[in-house]
Amino acid sequence: FVGKDKQLERYKNLAKSLGVKAHFLGASDGASEYFEACDILALLSVYEPFGLVVLEAMSYGCAVIASDKCGAAELLDREFIASDSTCASKILAGLLTNSQKLKGAGLQNRQKAKEHSLEANVKAQIELVRRYL
């Protein structure tokens, strides 16, 4: 797990009690090495106005599971949006047991991320400004 959270100790204890081997790496300025090494990102935030990390993971070809409270979930196919932890677990299990689905989701996400690049965003913003000047 990469990142910081006020309830970090709670999560560490939960992982331990469940017998899950987990590594909590803390916050990181250079996340690219983690995206290159992973296949799936799960962002199950209770509130996340956008969640740039979703778009970043997509650009590295990761499959992404996001909560329905994450603004960036609008970039994902409906089947990868979780309404609660039970739903997220089912989505994750589906990806982990179907390598074709996992690979396909990653490839599709990489393509979608290209459509939402910084360059594309700047072009769209300039076009909006021109339209209303």
Provide the residue range defining the domain that includes 57: 31-132
In what helix (H) or strand (E) does residue 82 lie, and over which residues does it extend?
A: strand 81-82
pLDDT in tens, the chain (133 residues): 888 888 899 999 999 998 988 899 888 887 889 999 999 999 998 888 988 999 999 999 999 999 999 999 999 999 999 999 999 999 999 999 999 999 999 999 999 999 998 888 899 999 999 999 8
pTM here? Answer: 0.82
Contact predicate 72/118, CB 8 Å: no
How many domains would you assign to the chain? 1
Residue 97, pLDDT score: 96
The three-point CA angle 27-94-40 to 5° equals 20
Residue 54: C-alpha distances to residues 24, 35, 45, 57 (Å): 19, 11, 11, 5
Inside any domain, residue 47: yes
Inside any domain, residue 19: no
75: domain CATH number is 3.40.50.2000
User: How far from chain centre, in Å, is Cα 62?
Assistant: 8
Residue 118, pLDDT score: 85
Q: How far apart are CA 79 and CA 1, in angstroms?
A: 23
The maximal CA–CA distance of the chain, rounded, in angstroms, is: 60
Residue 98, pLDDT score: 97
Inside any domain, residue 128: yes
Inside any domain, residue 16: no
Residue 4, pLDDT score: 83
